[in-house]
A = this chain, B = another copy of it.
């Protein structure tokens, strides 16, 4: 009964195989863990989480897997200024999860928000067009974040 979720195919199976990657136990476990959290985990966070159930999985493999997932666009990688990279599912079974972040400069808490996303999209589209024309720069993505103090720290 346990681990039943690992028998059949997963929503990311196709994408994964399509890129020529093998589906291995560590990769399934890591993807599972990512699917079940909405935190912004670091590689080590991930390792510790996974390690409780699967002590065999090494930190190196976690790093490698995260890098692959970023590479095929399933994961987003962030730097929130605390000296380690943090990751978050870019796309779930239901589709995109586009949002931006507020980072507390005191306790490092990261808060997702989707407010103003529509207005942002307008501006970003406009900017992307204008900038790619004016500076001849082909824009593929963007990153926006606010820094400040969260409710508990202010």
Which chain A residues have a beta carbon within 8 Å of chain B's beta carbons?
A: 79, 81, 102, 104-105, 111, 113, 115-116, 119-120, 123, 126-128, 130-132, 134-151, 154
Contacts and interface: CB of A to CB of B under 8 A. Distances in A.
A115 B131 contact: yes
B151 A147 contact: no
Contacts of A142: 144-147
Contacts of A132: 148
Given A120-B123, A123-B116, A123-B120, A138 B130 contact: no
A123 B127 CA distance: 13
A131 B143 contact: no
A119 B126 contact: yes
Contacts of A116: 123, 126-127, 130-131
Contact of A127 (B115, B127, B136): B115
A144 B141 CA distance: 11
Contacts of A151: 135-137
Given A79-B81, A102-B131, 17 more contacts: A79-B79, A102-B137, A115-B134, A116-B126, A119-B126, A120-B123, A123-B123, A135-B151, A136-B150, A136-B154, A138-B149, A138-B154, A140-B148, A142-B147, A143-B143, A143-B144, A143-B147
A146 B141 contact: yes
A135 B113 contact: yes
6 contacts: A116-B130, A120-B127, A137-B149, A138-B149, A140-B147, A142-B147
